[in-house]
């Protein structure tokens, strides 16, 4: 009989979250903001052209996961080609976050705009703090 350990998928031996765990945590953070906003009575909707579209939990989760996977992919490439991948990745991630804040401007109403910006902030905070790994001892990469 083969034993399957799901905790190995999410955590490393050090207890640090693996990248897949960080991506899922970012999606969870965005969903927490979404749920709190809905519980507060704010209808989340964004303008798309001449109409408004509701922002639901599936959209929130999928968008956060896609952002996390894109960030993880970029970090993996940078780790292979750069001496200081974490510094470069964090710089790119912060720039992408700032640019992404133009998206919530499409929110319908002040509450929706603030909630959408909060979701962007939650996802960015989790990804920027969680994805870059500390370098192994003796390894100068990432510093």
Q: How far apart are the first and last CA of the chain?
A: 43
Residue 111 belongs to some domain of the structure:
yes
Q: Is the dihedral of CA 142, 126, 123, 66 positive or negative?
A: positive
- Kindly give the residue spans of alpha helices, DSSP state H, lying in the chain: 7-10, 19-39, 57-81, 85-100, 110-130
Residue 18 belongs to some domain of the structure:
no
Residue 122 belongs to some domain of the structure:
yes
Residue 79 belongs to some domain of the structure:
yes
pLDDT at 13 over 80: no
CA–CA distance, 58 with 110 (Å, rounded to integer): 22
pLDDT, tens digit (0-9, with 9 covering 90-100), for 48-100 = 888 889 999 999 999 999 999 999 999 999 999 999 999 999 999 999 999 99
Residue 101 belongs to some domain of the structure:
yes
Residue 72 belongs to some domain of the structure:
yes
CA–CA distance, 127 with 109 (Å, rounded to integer): 27
Residue 126 belongs to some domain of the structure:
yes
pLDDT, tens digit (0-9, with 9 covering 90-100), for 30-62 = 999 999 999 999 989 998 888 889 999 999 999
Residue 14 belongs to some domain of the structure:
no
Q: Which domain holds residue 93?
A: 56-132
The number of domains in the chain is 1
Listed residue (11, 18, 12) closest to 130, CA to CA: 18
Report the predicted TM-score, pTM, of the whole model to 2 decimal places: 0.81
């Amino acid at each position: 009989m083969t034993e399957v350990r799901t905790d190995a998928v999410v955590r490393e031996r050090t207890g640090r979250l693996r990248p897949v765990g960080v991506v899922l945590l970012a999606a969870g953070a965005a969903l927490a903001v979404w749920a709190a906003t809905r519980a507060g009575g704010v209808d989340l909707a964004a303008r798309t052209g001449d109409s408004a579209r509701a922002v639901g939990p599936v959209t929130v989760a999928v968008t956060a996961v896609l952002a996390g996977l894109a960030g993880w992919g970029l970090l993996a490439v940078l780790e292979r080609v750069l001496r200081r991948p974490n510094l470069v990745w964090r710089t790119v991630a912060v720039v992408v976050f700032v640019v992404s804040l133009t998206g919530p401007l499409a929110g319908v109403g002040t509450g929706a705009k603030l909630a959408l910006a909060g979701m962007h902030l939650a996802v960015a905070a989790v990804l920027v703090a969680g994805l870059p790994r500390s370098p192994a001892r003796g390894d100068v990469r990432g510093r």
